[in-house]
Structure 1
Amino acid sequence: MEKIPVTIIGGGVVGLAIARELSLNGVDGVYLFEKNPYLGDEQSGRNSCVLHAGVYYSPGSLKAKLCVQGNAMLYAFCDEHGVACFNTSKIIVAVDEAKDRMIDTYVERCAANGVKGVKKISSKEIIEIEPNVRALSALLVPSTGVLDVPEYVKTLARLASDAGAGIIKDTKVTGIEPRGDGFVVRTRDSRGAEDEFETDRIINSAGLYADEIAALVNPSNSWRIAPLRGEYYRYDSSSRKEVGLNGTCVYQVQEPYELDGKLYFGIGIHLTPTLDVAEGGSRKIGRYVSVGPTSIPVTDKHDYETGRKAAGFFYEDVKRFFPNLRVEDLQMDYAGNRAKLKGYDDFVIRRDEKYPACAHLVGIDSPGLTSSLAIARYVAEEFFDVRRTS
């Protein structure tokens, strides 16, 4: 039976970043398995494409630590490897006094998390940045940006392959049997061909399906991904002067939502600049602005149908701070599902309790994209004792 030293399950940005990090730093025999025909085709490719700063996360949490680290790492990576990335900044707007008080909380949290350069700004200062936005106050976050996620995925895959990692697409892991100090892994490709191999180590980076992979390794694992569906609309910011934006991400103060009787705070529906092709084939901030996402609990992890929420739902939410938008401006765009881990507010990155040769990454929702390079370094250091040399 063939033996693979390190098996990574999941070909999104986190799995690819781990494959690159390990292979660059002397870990041999790294193979990544992705069940879909394309890499980065689920959470990684169905989000707002925002490079977050670290505003929202509890001080001391993995999300806070890895988002702040990952923000700087991702800007540097994009610059080094020619991935389009724009430092747009972000304003988080407060439309009433209760939300204005939340801005003060954000300022304190940013100080605790090491988020640099943030400041509370007035309604007048908001208009100087984005003339068509109306709010009582806002938090200005200079380190937020947007990036070309498909190009980032492609670049990670190329660099991982160049460093010696194997990437196997269109192949689903169907079974995992602990054996000795390692595992036997069973797979099936899209044509129905089955295979099995031995592996010394498993990195479970399966995103929406990480809970299912964890249960294959150890049925005692009780993590459950309760996916949150996010739908997006978009509008053409060049269609009328009064709906124009200057390229800033415009977010609202977080709104609570309930999941299984527990209150969580989602980022909410926001306005995000999108990228377009410039003359010569490079990327630029485009004329379309993304409006979304919703946060609706669903059961089907692979349900990406659009149109569940009408344009009016988005309009009613956004008009509080962007009053010139009309319902007829909005065009249906796309949907994605986020890997919300039931009962947890933070990333879970830990060894399996019974089989320590497996590391689980569960509940890697937002800010997973921003944190991807920092997560990869964390996994390399914590589970492989790698200290980065390149």
Structure 2
Amino acid sequence: MADETVGIVGAGIVGLATAREIALGRPGTRVVVFDKEPEVSLHQTGHNSGVVHAGIYYTPGSLKADLCVRGVALLREYCRDRELPYKEIGKLVVAVREDELGRMNDLYERARNNHVPDLRRISKEEIREFEPNGAGVAALHSPRTAITDYPAIARSFAKDVVDSGGEVRLGFPVTGITTVPGGIAVASGQERVRVDRLILCAGLQSDAVARLAQDEREPRIVPFRGEYMLLKPERTGLVRGLIYPVPDPRYPFLGVHFTPRVDGSVEVGPNAVLALAREGYTRTRISPKDLLGLAAYPGTWRMAARHWRTGIREYRGSFSTAAFMKDARLYVPDVGVSDVVRGGAGVRAQALDRDGTLLDDFRIHRVGRVTAVRNAPSPAATASMAIAEHIVGAVFGDASAS
């Protein structure tokens, strides 16, 4: 008999990393992962770009910064031990205008404070040494930034959980969370499973599932769809490594960039448009329930009032390949509309506060025996194993959740 049973809602990479951390690190504790889907990692993890972020962008001292840097080391070691793909192909963060140099230098100082390894500033001429088809006035070069296969990692985490005596219960949509004497009852329809503690890692459904557990109603999740183009196979040679813009600090999105994948393909994107459904991977996927929830939330309108110009620009790129590629050509001038085809899309679970603020850092709440991950956008996949350590430390009293 297990000394204690811990339930985890969500079989994405964060939920599975947390389950694995408990299963391997706390003998005598049984772990049960619940997910509504028939397979693990079908949503954010399964639509991830595959980038292992080095920690360049994040505010020093934030959870994102600390857990990303720790997570890279853990993930790299795990992939090598399990012979999973992990390729350090390097990244350029490129300034294409003189007025971006100040932000680029600020980013360099931030990255140094985050102990990003081997990062350096390079000149216009040096950009061409790394990317012969690239352009820009200067750049940051991060040689240790890598790419991997996050769905494969998530499947490996799930296997570790099961091999350690845990359970991954798929096809189990959580419809109720109730406090019972000495524990928590997790319901799916008429079926109920009792656990001693519960951890919510529900991604796109994180606010809805947290409300079932009587957690705070805010922040709310706003789904942003990121759409990609794919370079045609005969044009993938235009790009050697990752090419990113200098990000706008007003937004938690990084802008259109070039992303080689472990399968040899190269993505261009993503944009960031408001999705009309929590799981709205296409423009035609619309959920009246999700739309009503967005319309009824004051934070949605306050966000729109601040960022409507950016929203219009992003939607233009959604419907026009020429508009989409206009930004991309600033970084690789030789790439054009004829060089790409429409690719896939992902939906980012972006937490939004009532005042219209898009949350940047990870946010984790604790309500009695329930711990809820309320915001875990990029670099959550990179940081997943470190996030798991942090959550487990908080749940079992070894650290404090933030």
TM-score by length of structure 1 reads 0.88
Match for residue 372 of structure 2 among 351, 360, 366: 360
How many residues are paired up?
358
Q: 1:229 to 1:361 in 2, by over 3 A?
A: same
Bigger shift: residues 50-59 or 148-157: 148-157
Q: Map 1:202-221 to 2 at 5 A.
A: 202-218=198-214, 220-221=216-217
Q: What residue identity is the alignment partner of 2:26? A: G
Q: Superposition RMSD on alpha carbons, in Å?
A: 1.9
Contact 1:103–1:120 under 8 Å retained in 2: no
User: Which residue number corresponds to residue 226 of structure 2?
Assistant: 230
Q: Map 1:236-251 to 2 at 5 A.
A: 236=232, 238-239=234-235, 244-246=238-240, 248-251=241-244
Paired with 1:26 and 1:4, the residues of 2 have a C-alpha distance of: 10
Bigger shift: residues 304-313 or 16-25: 304-313
User: Which residue number corresponds to residue 320 of structure 1?
Assistant: 330
Aligned-pair CA distance for 1:184: 1.7
Aligned-pair CA distance for 1:26: 2.0
Bigger shift: residues 106-115 or 118-127: 106-115
Contact 2:365–2:373 under 8 Å retained in 1: yes
Contact 1:94–1:103 under 8 Å retained in 2: yes
Paired with 1:219 and 1:202, the residues of 2 have a C-alpha distance of: 12
Paired with 2:74 and 2:197, the residues of 1 have a C-alpha distance of: 26
Aligned-pair CA distance for 1:238: 3.3
Aligned-pair CA distance for 1:181: 4.3
Paired with 2:148 and 2:23, the residues of 1 have a C-alpha distance of: 24
Contact 1:84–1:147 under 8 Å retained in 2: yes
Aligned-pair CA distance for 1:88: 0.8
TM-score by length of structure 2 reads 0.85
Paired with 1:230 and 1:320, the residues of 2 have a C-alpha distance of: 19
Paired with 1:306 and 1:230, the residues of 2 have a C-alpha distance of: 11
1:71-99 residue CA offsets vs partner (Å, 9 max, x unmatched)? 11111110011111101110000001121
Q: Which structure 1 segments of 5+ residues have no match?
A: 189-193, 257-262, 277-285
Aligned-pair CA distance for 1:369: 0.5
Q: Map 1:118-267 to 2 at 5 A.
A: 118-188=119-189, 194-218=190-214, 220-236=216-232, 238-239=234-235, 244-246=238-240, 248-255=241-248, 263-267=250-254
Where in structure 1 do 4 or more consecutive aligned residues deviate above 4 Å?
none
Structure 1 SS opposite 2:177? strand
Contact 1:122–1:138 under 8 Å retained in 2: yes
Paired with 2:108 and 2:233, the residues of 1 have a C-alpha distance of: 30
Contact 1:70–1:373 under 8 Å retained in 2: yes
User: Which residue number corresponds to residue 281 of structure 1?
Assistant: none
Contact 1:87–1:145 under 8 Å retained in 2: yes
Q: What residue identity is the alignment partner of 1:372? A: S
1:261-307 residue CA offsets vs partner (Å, 9 max, x unmatched)? xx42411111011122xxxxxxxxx1x21011111123411111169
Query: Is residue 2:267 matched to residue 1:290?
Result: yes
Q: Map 1:376-387 to 2 at 5 A.
A: 376-385=388-397
1:313-368 residue CA offsets vs partner (Å, 9 max, x unmatched)? 3211101111101101111111111111103211012312xxx2111111111001
